[in-house]
A and B are shown apart, each in its own frame.
Chain A
Amino acid sequence: DAKTTQPPSMDCAEGRAANLPCNHSTISGNEYVYWYRQIHSQGPQYIIHGLKNNETNEMASLIITEDRKSSTLILPHATLRDTAVYYCIVRGLGSSNTGKLIFGQGTTLQVKP
């Protein structure tokens, strides 16, 4: 599975949009981009995933560039409860590695009042 690169930390003002970038320049055609977050001491929580189209759900939006080499997770109105470590993960499906979900270091998002 392709590796990802994320900034180690970011700040965001409460009520503003949080835009978390992720680079995955070696992504291949059958690999999806997944986002998870981990709030302090809790188990990780799935947020959203996409292949090549932009995706939106009740938690966030995922914007994937046309060449698929990078993506951005958008939390439209960040709250203090969104303070967490956010992980961008590339995962291939339909391969021998389908069952493996490998976490990197993630981005620590601090939402400030």
Chain B
Amino acid sequence: NAGVTQTPKFQVLKTGQSMTLQCAQDMNHEYMSWYRQDPGMGLRLIHYSVGAGITDQGEVPNGYNVSRSTTEDFPLRLLSAAPSQTSVYFCASSSGTKDGYTFGSGTRLTVV
């Protein structure tokens, strides 16, 4: 099993550009989440999903869209990137029971 795979690992965007951060898991997990982590700070929940077709907002959803058309994939879309979205983004998945979450290795995004 590859676990949780995030692509790309690094990205530089210009202000106003759009992009999609990809997240895929091969563990048949129902629950998936996106987090951002600013330098020296803790993780903040952006959006999460408890199954295909179901998404909900986390702590800091503004500026981000998500969809969950399949169990395996949970892409995060930035429609118009802003310098405040410079951060490390982590995707995570869980079986949906009381098991813990498995995290990806992160995408480091810089918006200039």
Residues of A whose CB lies within 8 Å of any CB of B are 32, 34, 36, 38, 41-47, 49, 87, 93, 98-106
Contacts and interface: CB of A to CB of B under 8 A. Distances in A.
B31 A99 contact: yes
B50 A98 contact: yes
A101 B92 contact: yes
Name the interface size band of chain B: 20 to 34
A-B interface, 7 closest residue pairs, ranked by CB to CB distance from nearest: A46-B100, A43-B103, A99-B50, A103-B43, A99-B48, A44-B103, A103-B42
Contacts of A46: 100-102
B56 to A, nearest CB: 7
B37 to A, nearest CB: 9
B98 A100 contact: no
B10 to A, nearest CB: 12
A44 B42 contact: no
Contact of B105 (A32, A43, A105): A43
Specify which of B45, B50, B98 lies most central, judged by the most chain A CB atoms within 10 Å of its CB. B98
A42 B3 CA distance: 15
12 contacts: A43-B4, A43-B106, A44-B92, A46-B101, A98-B96, A99-B49, A99-B50, A101-B45, A101-B48, A101-B101, A103-B42, A103-B44
Contacts of B90: 43-44
Tell me what chain B mostly uses at the interface: helix, strand, loop, or mixed. strand
A42 B44 CA distance: 15
A50 B105 CA distance: 26
Specify which of A45, A47, A100, A106 lies most central, judged by the most chain B CB atoms within 10 Å of its CB. A100
Given A49-B98, A105-B42, A100 B103 contact: no
Given A32-B98, A46-B101, A93-B97, 15 more contacts: A34-B100, A36-B101, A43-B92, A46-B100, A46-B102, A87-B42, A98-B31, A99-B50, A100-B58, A101-B33, A101-B92, A103-B42, A103-B43, A104-B42, A105-B42
